Structure 1
Amino acid sequence: MITTRDIAERLQLSVSTVGRALADDDRISEQTKFRVRQAAAEMGYVANRAARMMRGASSDVVGLVIPDIRNSFYSTIAHELSKNMEAQGFQLILSETDDDRMVELRHLRELSASRVAGVIIVPTARPHSESVKLLKAVPHVQLLRKHSSLGSQWFGVNDFDALRQATAHLVEQGHPRIGYVGGPAELPTGAERLKGFRSALSGGNLSSEAGCIELGPPSSVEHGRQAVRRLLAGPSAPTAIALGSVQLTLGVLEELSRLDVKVPSELSVVGFGDEPGFSWWGPGLTTIGLPIQEMATGCGLWLMRRLTTKPDDDSAYASVSPGSLILRGSTAPPAQPRRPSRRKGS
């Protein structure tokens, strides 16, 4: 590995002069800085981040802690945040937890040891107490999910209203029995979406028994497949289904295609999120569109401002983005049961 000493020997300069030139120190002439940078580039020199941090240099790294990068919801967020960070001179480092609090803790320990400038986190349902302590020592903001122990800076979606909109649309079309496939209620997003589903049922004067609920891992495509199989195999199968996550939507759509269920004549479906393929799946999927790019951009810019201005207070801040119902062809009023034909004279 090339060091500042190697550069100093090549240019016949002191190691301290090379170090100051690379740090853009005002005491070093522009000519010397140019020579040092040119030599560093030619020799393949890479700055030692740990050494810089020990000398008191500020970090330019921000950690992003998310459950699952395979979920396009999170990969889109990571992409937008990375672009925003780069534009501000920061670098984004990705950590994946698989919604495991101990994996989350391990990643936060590593990020803390690396003295990151800040952290953007989609927390697990029950963050470890040590995770809470580690985050208190670094500027951070919660994204999508909000846990009270991690502070009150949060960017998220109006999950309650998103599912209320989706379910109310099915209620208005006259569906007497509606299924819901969503994430567990122990997650704040899962709890709010379930409340929104139930609120739409009661608002449409439907009893709680009119809702068939299947809860499980929100990032599991397989849970979506299994859940819709159980719902359709039951004695009182729903005539419509509302879905509570992108991955669950993918699983349900795959299984409906495999089972050759006719949408919407046999079953109406409202998805969650708007993947590129949703517009041409079957008759086109009616779904809840989410302002992912806008939310990620707002979150990134807010954290950048906090890191660069270093405010004295840690006052609460919340930004809630609305979802929007995108109407396509996967929903319709329930099919009316055929009446038995009457023979003449009977």
Structure 2
Amino acid sequence: MITIKDIAARLQVSPSTVGRALADDARISAAMKQKVQEVANELGYVANRAARMMRGVSSNLVGLVVPDIRNSFYSTIAHALSKCLEQEGYQLTLSETDDDRQTELRQIRELTSANVAGIIIVPSAKPHAESVRLLGMTPHIQLLRKHASLGEQWFGIDDVQALYQPTRHLVDLGHRRIAYIGSSAELPTGAARLKGFREALAGAGSPCEGIEELGAPGSSEFARDALRRMLALPAPPTALVVGSVLHTFSVLEELLASGVSVPERLSVAGFSDELAFRWWGPGLTTVGLPVSELATACGLWFVHRMKQKVPSGAPYSSISPPTLIVRGSTRRHP
């Protein structure tokens, strides 16, 4: 294995000079750093990350902690962050929690034990106290969801408007029995989306009935069951708005399987603008979310903070607006 001593011998300098050059130490000239890097590349030198961690040196790894990588929200975020961080000399490492606070704690422990440069997290509903403590000692930023115990630095989407806009669209089309299938209100995003749904109904100008089914954001079976229950009601809804990506996919699958005519029997508005939603049936009316742009902005801000060693704690929020996209799955109620 090639070591720092081998590089030093080739350049006829001390190992400490090579070590400092590889660590981008300000005491080493740019010319020497370039020479060291060229020889290191030529010899195939690989930095000993474990040794660096033993010396207390943070790595170039940035942890991304998300609930469910199957959700296109999070895979899009991971891709955008990976590209953004790579350009700045950092490498993204991905951890999945399944929205379980104990799993979340275990992932955070592993990341902090590896001396990661920072952590970007979509937190669970109730982070463990130990998770809060560990994150308090590590540069971190919350993404999409915001939990007060984890600080006031957050990049997110206006989740109230993300449900207000499609619900208001259905109200304006004359629908007065409107159903909502969405995430549990225990999650901050779920609570905000439910608020948007209710506010749109309350502002309708004439009485509206809201039918609500709330469940786990990653449960496709919940969404299917909820739709079946709604359609079996004596007075079923004439319109449906969905509050998560995975629930939207599940609802669309169930509508096809049950032969429900959209929008003739049921007007449907989904969540997020996936490619498949544009091709589904008459085209799905949905709310577009700037997820990739949001992730890139979060990554750039976080990198700047880490490089400048800005003290944590100062509140910072960035909220991106959603956009209603109207297609053929919604129509005026007769």
Same fold (TM over 0.5): yes
Distance 1:285 1:28, change over 3 A: closer
SS at match of 2:270: strand
SS at match of 2:110: helix
Displacement of 1:4 in angstroms is 3.9
Deviates more, 1:318-327 or 1:10-19: 10-19
Deviates more, 1:163-172 or 1:8-17: 8-17
Asked whether 1:316 is paired with 2:315, we answer yes
For residues 200 and 21 of structure 1, what CA distance do their matches in structure 2 show? 60
For residues 30 and 292 of structure 2, what CA distance do their matches in structure 1 show? 43
For residues 84 and 34 of structure 2, what CA distance do their matches in structure 1 show? 29
Displacement of 1:310 in angstroms is 1.8
State the one-letter code of the partner of 1:293: S
Distance 1:195 1:37, change over 3 A: closer
Asked whether 1:196 is paired with 2:196, we answer yes
Aligned residue for 2:284? 285
Displacement of 1:20 in angstroms is 4.5
Aligned residue for 2:149? 149
Distance 1:32 1:298, change over 3 A: closer
Displacement of 1:224 in angstroms is 1.9
For residues 230 and 250 of structure 1, what CA distance do their matches in structure 2 show? 17
Displacement of 1:276 in angstroms is 0.6
Aligned residue for 1:121? 121
Distance 1:202 1:318, change over 3 A: same
Distance 1:176 1:4, change over 3 A: same
Aligned residue for 2:47? 47
Aligned residue for 1:138? 138
Aligned residue for 1:271? 270
Residues 20 and 28, structure 1, Cα contact 8 Å, conserved in 2 = no
Displacement of 1:314 in angstroms is 2.3
| Gapped regions of structure 2 (runs ≥ 5) | none
Distance 1:40 1:240, change over 3 A: same
Residues 17 and 28, structure 2, Cα contact 8 Å, conserved in 1 = no
Sequence identity of aligned pairs in percent?
61
Residues 24 and 33, structure 1, Cα contact 8 Å, conserved in 2 = no
Asked whether 1:67 is paired with 2:67, we answer yes
Aligned residue for 1:262? 261
State the one-letter code of the partner of 2:198: R
Residues 299-346 of structure 1 show CA distances to partners (whole Å, capped at 9, x for unaligned) of 1111111111122462111111111110100001224xxxxxxxxxxx
State the one-letter code of the partner of 1:53: M
Displacement of 1:40 in angstroms is 4.3
Aligned residue for 1:100? 100
Asked whether 1:112 is paired with 2:112, we answer yes
State the one-letter code of the partner of 1:289: G
Aligned residue for 2:226? 227
For residues 28 and 331 of structure 1, what CA distance do their matches in structure 2 show? 64
Distance 1:313 1:131, change over 3 A: closer
Deviates more, 1:229-238 or 1:22-31: 22-31
Asked whether 1:304 is paired with 2:303, we answer yes
For residues 144 and 125 of structure 1, what CA distance do their matches in structure 2 show? 12
Distance 1:24 1:126, change over 3 A: closer
Residues 166-214 of structure 1 show CA distances to partners (whole Å, capped at 9, x for unaligned) of 1111111111211100000000000011111111111114557x11111
State the one-letter code of the partner of 2:242: L
For residues 312 and 88 of structure 2, what CA distance do their matches in structure 1 show? 22
Residues 277 and 284, structure 2, Cα contact 8 Å, conserved in 1 = yes
Distance 1:251 1:82, change over 3 A: same
Residues 69-127 of structure 1 show CA distances to partners (whole Å, capped at 9, x for unaligned) of 11111110111111111111111111110100000000100111111111111000000
Aligned residue for 1:252? 251
What does 1:176-187 align with in structure 2 at a 5 Å threshold? 176-187=176-187
Displacement of 1:161 in angstroms is 1.4
Deviates more, 1:223-232 or 1:90-99: 223-232
Residues 2 and 44, structure 2, Cα contact 8 Å, conserved in 1 = yes
Distance 1:117 1:24, change over 3 A: closer
Distance 1:58 1:280, change over 3 A: same
State the one-letter code of the partner of 2:162: A
Task: With the length of structure 2 as denominator, give the TM-score of the two structures.
Answer: 0.91
Residues 142 and 153, structure 2, Cα contact 8 Å, conserved in 1 = yes
For residues 41 and 272 of structure 2, what CA distance do their matches in structure 1 show? 45
Deviates more, 1:222-231 or 1:154-163: 222-231
Aligned length: 333
| Gapped regions of structure 1 (runs ≥ 5) | 336-346
State the one-letter code of the partner of 1:185: A
Larger Rg: 1
